[in-house]
Chain A
């Protein structure tokens, strides 16, 4: 009898372990980020640029942020939106964000996102009339990528650069 009981417990555990795969198929996207900077190193008498982890940076230096995503779920993830506010104390470097999916920027702390060329705002000019302006990259407050679909097991990464003020 003792032996039978143990077998039964094992069977229940097996069923429980198998259940999520069947009953609750879902995407599971995780994201990680690394901050790096480029340094010049001399290798075999030649100066080459190398990326190293940016633990400490000098004002004026660039930080390269690489955002890596992975769908470890068993179903495709849809409308994957990666949002990253430009860190305080830094300025976005124009053209540095990877052109993955649908890339958009915000100048109002993420309330609205637009394509760079559409990023305009209005100011009252000298004439008293409202004048339309295009935001310069260092006014960007947020960067956002929208990726339509990341399949189960799919991975990818996007990146952008900022300059430390």
Chain B
């Protein structure tokens, strides 16, 4: 029985050690604890009274603490929680982006250390960067893959004033020049179960209480006290913000105030961008990323990442789809109304139609171009008005047609080389093309997809609306065009 009791005692001692220091920190770092002692006495006659006083000041130190890392809240009133950003699929070389929030919980300003790591699979190259965003979505610290420092403020509230002002011990907050709270900062006020993000509107720094008699030498003077003027942080509603969204309410501390002794912490929004290029055809690349955040002493480590993931404390950045481009060339005897196939037979003087089909069932490919030649013993057929219309006799006019599954463009060969009137609205680039000449052996170049031009290929697949050129954005009524077909005709000599 005795042994059991000892075991229980040891266990409780261990548990006590594990309690973080912040649990006790209910005074802001930099607070001045002023103690004034007065001595009153009388002389031997008991008639004359005298007084003397003395004071000491003690400053409260910073208790470092880890940042509270959460999913970027969708509303300003939120319950903090963390989960890795949702997975999606991206083109090889495309970019995965996720936004998280990091909120200070210490009793004062600290310089946190950030570092990002990434591990890729089936990727020839990959990278991960992080960017610190301001409340309005603008960049506060540019994207980097290197370690960096981030100064965040937090303080323990000692009261509120009016509807919108948080009070802190006089002289405890850092000045704006020292990176203290400043207008536009996001601060999170603790209401117990939920938290609310506000924007700092104005900061007014006060000063600690003081006393004239202090130092090392005793005095017979009674001294004079300077009253404390508390530091004030005025806040306002946090609305229309990138990453946080709507739902920010104006503070009403006169009706609902944060409890005295709770932390008001600055929140930083961090955007993580991950990119990878698939190392092999048909093999999708994936990346695990981990943003490590510590306090200025490299303790209290927190991660943008989940402890239960493998590797631990990482988040997956989705699949960077390998391109799966396929090309198929078919031919038919147009004059005899034959069917497209691998081969066709023709008598001299008859017209053959070629059909080139480009399909990509994988990740988006850039600079998609088809290089072809006018077959030997044939001559390119051109049309006066439209592809398949009235045959032109001077070797100019329309010579080919590109179809992306939704829109069709007809390509011309003329003095200016190539023109492809693209569809109007929505306006994708279906493709462009160029015929070097109409004679056998002349090059036929075709440039496919969004972003293509008269001299370079675009992306395949592409959206039928050029403004939505990722598969995630390309939703109904638009279509994600994976298959492009090119038709042209030649006349057998």
- A residues contacting B by CB (< 8 A) are 26-35, 54-60, 63, 65, 67, 69-70, 75-85, 87-90, 150, 164-165
Asked if residues A87 and B169 are in contact (CB atoms below 8 Å), the reply is: no
Q: Given the complex, which residues of B lie within 8 Å of A79, measured CB to CB? A: 40-42, 46
Partner of A75, one of B31, B38, B40, B43: B43
Total interface residues in chain B, CB < 8 Å: 41
Partner of B54, one of A27, A33, A87, A150: A33
Bound: A28/B50 CA distance, A: 8
Among B57-65, B127-135, B340-348, the stretch in contact with A: B57-65
Q: Given the complex, which residues of A lie within 8 Å of B355, measured CB to CB? A: none
Q: Which residue of B lies closest to A143 (CB)?
A: B37
- Contact of B240 with A by CB under 8 A: no
Q: Given the complex, which residues of A lie within 8 Å of B107, measured CB to CB? A: 59
Q: Distance in Å from the Cβ of B290 to the closest Cβ of chain A?
A: 31
Q: Given the complex, which residues of A lie within 8 Å of B50, measured CB to CB? A: 26-29, 77
Asked if residues B52 and A31 are in contact (CB atoms below 8 Å), the reply is: yes
- B 195-228 binary contact with A (CB < 8 Å = 1; else 0): 0000000000000010000001111100000001
Bound: A70/B54 CA distance, A: 13
Bound: A67/B38 CA distance, A: 10
Asked if residues A29 and B39 are in contact (CB atoms below 8 Å), the reply is: yes
Partner of A56, one of B42, B59, B217: B59
Asked if residues B56 and A65 are in contact (CB atoms below 8 Å), the reply is: yes
Q: Given the complex, which residues of B lie within 8 Å of A59, measured CB to CB? A: 24-27, 60, 63, 107
Asked if residues B21 and A33 are in contact (CB atoms below 8 Å), the reply is: no
Q: Distance in Å from the Cβ of B139 to the closest Cβ of chain A?
A: 35
What are 28 inter-chain pairs, A to B, with CB distance below 8 A? A27-B50, A28-B220, A29-B41, A29-B50, A30-B220, A31-B54, A33-B54, A35-B35, A56-B59, A56-B60, A57-B33, A57-B59, A58-B21, A58-B25, A58-B63, A59-B26, A78-B41, A79-B40, A82-B38, A83-B40, A84-B35, A84-B38, A88-B209, A89-B31, A89-B60, A89-B169, A164-B60, A165-B27
- Contact of B375 with A by CB under 8 A: no
- Contact of B474 with A by CB under 8 A: no
Asked if residues A78 and B35 are in contact (CB atoms below 8 Å), the reply is: no
Asked if residues B58 and A55 are in contact (CB atoms below 8 Å), the reply is: yes
Asked if residues A70 and B41 are in contact (CB atoms below 8 Å), the reply is: no
Q: Given the complex, which residues of B lie within 8 Å of A67, measured CB to CB? A: 37, 54
- B residues contacting A by CB (< 8 A) are 21, 24-27, 31, 33-44, 46, 48, 50, 52-56, 58-61, 63, 107, 169, 209, 216-220, 228, 261
Q: Distance in Å from the Cβ of B117 to the closest Cβ of chain A?
A: 32
Asked if residues B35 and A33 are in contact (CB atoms below 8 Å), the reply is: yes
Q: A29-B39, A65-B35, A77-B41 are in contact. List 20 more A-B contacts (CB 8 A).
A: A26-B50, A27-B44, A29-B41, A30-B219, A31-B39, A31-B52, A31-B54, A35-B58, A55-B58, A57-B33, A59-B26, A59-B107, A60-B21, A80-B39, A82-B37, A82-B39, A83-B37, A84-B38, A89-B60, A164-B60
Q: Which residue of A lies closest to B49 (CB)?
A: A79
Q: Given the complex, which residues of B lie within 8 Å of A58, measured CB to CB? A: 21, 25, 60-61, 63
Q: Distance in Å from the Cβ of A150 to the closest Cβ of chain B?
A: 7
Q: Given the complex, which residues of A lie within 8 Å of B35, measured CB to CB? A: 33, 35, 65, 84-85, 87
Bound: A28/B52 CA distance, A: 9
- Interface Cβ pair total, 8 Å cutoff: 133
Q: Given the complex, which residues of B lie within 8 Å of A63, measured CB to CB? A: 33, 58
Bound: A29/B61 CA distance, A: 34
Asked if residues A78 and B44 are in contact (CB atoms below 8 Å), the reply is: yes
Q: Given the complex, which residues of A lie within 8 Å of B218, measured CB to CB? A: 30-32, 70
Q: Given the complex, which residues of A lie within 8 Å of B228, measured CB to CB? A: 88
Bound: A55/B60 CA distance, A: 8
Q: Given the complex, which residues of B lie within 8 Å of A27, measured CB to CB? A: 41-44, 50
Bound: A85/B60 CA distance, A: 18
Q: Given the complex, which residues of B lie within 8 Å of A75, measured CB to CB? A: 43-44
Asked if residues A30 and B52 are in contact (CB atoms below 8 Å), the reply is: yes
Bound: A35/B216 CA distance, A: 12
Q: Given the complex, which residues of B lie within 8 Å of A150, measured CB to CB? A: 41
Most buried by A among B26, B43, B228: B43
Bound: A76/B45 CA distance, A: 10
Q: Given the complex, which residues of A lie within 8 Å of B48, measured CB to CB? A: 26
Bound: A150/B40 CA distance, A: 12
Bound: A31/B215 CA distance, A: 12
Q: Distance in Å from the Cβ of B41 to the closest Cβ of chain A?
A: 4
Q: Given the complex, which residues of B lie within 8 Å of A26, measured CB to CB? A: 43, 48, 50
Bound: A26/B53 CA distance, A: 18
Bound: A162/B37 CA distance, A: 14
Q: Distance in Å from the Cβ of B156 to the closest Cβ of chain A?
A: 8
Bound: A90/B27 CA distance, A: 9
Bound: A164/B220 CA distance, A: 29
